[in-house]
Amino acid sequence: MAEIPKKPTALIFGGLNTCSRALAALLVPINGDPLVSFLRIVDKYSVVPPTTYIGAEFPKILEMPQVEYRQANLTVESTIQSMFDPPEGHSGFDYVFDFTGEVRHDRTEMIQINNTCKVAHMLGREAAKRKAKAYIRMQLPFYETQTKGTHDEKEDAKPAGTIGIWWHETLRVLASIEDLNLVILRIGFIYGPYTPFGVVASGINVAAVYGYMKKPMKLLWSPGKNANNTVHIDDIAGAAWASAEWMAPLGRTAANQLAGEELLFHNDKSKVKEVGEMPPHNVKPVAPLFNLVDDSESTLLSIGQTVTSFFGTTFDFFNLVESTVFKFMDDLEDINEQHVGAWTDMLMNSNPPVTKTPLTAYMDKYALEKHVVAFNNAKIKAVMGYKLKKPQFNHETIKEVVDKWKAEGSWPTLA
């Protein structure tokens, strides 16, 4: 007879480019006791051989006996259903971590509907049908909060752009699945080891280039007091696990009573007819929602100062009035060319030379736009008792990131 495993089983969907590898490393560490008896990770990429950057640590995790990776197309419902079939000796999956969603800003609305909204809907429905004890949805910071102050979960943050509208709609869709043991983590700007994704990674990279050129790094949006709250990838993993452990004994009804928030409509009303998964505009689905950011209350200015001082240079702004900024955005290709050129120099002058790296000094339109994301993290601390592992964005946390990139050969080592 098969032994009944005491530790929970877990499924992670998507996020190979963002957060799933860090969560896998927490659930099944290379050295130490695993938190789960079985972990299945599902994404669209191949990992052997990798068709995307996966970092030096993840291949070792994939070799652990408790870990299984499945390459799958999650837009197909029957595929999703089969991913929930448990391995032999297990009765089902206890915890589901949903890191899916299209993260590229240049994708069309149709792609957002298909790959973010509909995929999550199919995953949520299947997880509810299979009675998963917890379903943790990660919500990236595609919002613009009010300029002043910090904002708790009761405040209605405005989704930013097409990507923001559909990521937010996805929360409403998931929250409308009544039996789904859903917890939503609404995070700040991610950074951390083996994570080339996001505006903070771009900032670290470009600051290194300015340090190398011995020039001050200049950005738009003076005076830079706009909040760009940050969160370390270890805390995304830690809080995802804490959320599952919090939800499992409670169930959705009790969890809603403790931490439920209304998810308000921010879409075009005509879309409700078009996208059958969407709840009507006047419905306000309720789900447990938690902000997840570190304690540093990062702003554009504080991030800029922290990364540039780490690389021995300074941070400054172009002296422009906002009305000329938009014309100026067109000229940024030239500046990007300088960044990319200097970064290529750094890679070639490295000892040993860096021939392959996921990192780029190119700043895309999103990285250059002004963002205001100020979330208050008091609720997750109070309700779950969550304690941040990396509460500050500082030289120490940047050093860890850069050192790990150096060690795996993704970052230049210059004499």
37: left (phi over 0), alpha (psi -120 to 50) or beta: alpha
Could you give the C-alpha distances from 395 to 76, 343, 390, in angstroms and in order?
44, 21, 12
- Residue 326 to residue 268: CA distance in whole angstroms: 27
Q: Write down the least CB distance from residue 124 to ligand NAG, Å.
A: 18
Of 229, 164, 237, whose CA–CA distance to 194 is shortest? 237
- Which residue number, 79 or 150, has a Cβ lying nearer to ligand NAG? 79
Cβ distance to ligand NAG smaller for residue 34 or 161 = 161
Find the helix packing angle between 395-408 and 300-310, rounded to 10°: 60
- Least separation in angstroms between residue 397's CB and ligand NAG is 35
Contact 186, 290 (CB under 8 A): yes
Tokens 């339109």 found at: 365
Binding test (CB under 6 A) with ligand NAG, winner from 75, 147, 257, 324: 75
Q: Which two tokens stand for residue 198?
A: 């996001």
Name the residue type at position 187: I
In angstroms, the CA 47 to CA 324 distance is 45
Is 56 a binder of ligand NAG (CB under 6 A)?
no
Minimum CB separation of residue 114 from ligand NAG in Å reads 4
Residue (57 or 277) nearer to ligand NAG, CB: 277
- Regarding 81 and contact with ligand NAG (CB under 6 A), the answer is no
> In Å, how far are 19, 71, 86, 182, 239 from 47, measured between CA atoms?
15, 8, 21, 29, 25
Binding status of residue 162 toward ligand NAG by CB under 6 A:
no
CB of 123 to ligand NAG, least distance (A): 15
214-253 mask for ligand NAG (x: CB under 6 A)? ----------------------------------------
78 belongs to the binding site for ligand NAG (CB under 6 A): no
- Which residue type sits at 78? S
Neighbours of 82 (CB within 10 A): 12
76 lies in the site for ligand NAG, by CB under 6 A:
yes
CB distance 60 to 21 below 8 Å:
no
C-beta closer to ligand NAG: residue 17 or 306: 17
Is the Cβ of residue 111 or residue 213 nearer to ligand NAG in the bound state?
111
Q: Looking at beta carbons only, is 111 or 367 nearer to ligand NAG?
A: 111
Q: Under rule CB under 6 A, how many of the chain's residues touch ligand NAG? A: 6
* For ligand NAG, the closer CB: 75 or 257: 75
Choices 73-81, 121-129, 157-165, 288-296; region in contact with ligand NAG by CB under 6 A: 73-81
CB of 67 to ligand NAG, least distance (A): 23
Residue 91 in the binding site for ligand NAG (CB under 6 A): no
Least distance between ligand NAG and beta carbon 110 (Å) = 4
Would you say 90 or 107 has its CB closer to ligand NAG? Answer: 107
73 is a site residue for ligand NAG (CB under 6 A): yes
What is the C-alpha to C-alpha distance for residues 33 and 40, in angstroms, rounded to an integer?
17
Helix segments in 131-217, DSSP class H: 161-175, 199-213
One DSSP character per residue, 274-308 reads H-TTSPPTT---EEEEEEE--SS--BHHHHHHHHH
- Per-residue x/- mask for ligand NAG, residues 102 to 141, rule CB under 6 A? --------xx--x---------------------------
Q: Enumerate binding residues for ligand NAG (CB under 6 A).
A: 73, 75-76, 110-111, 114
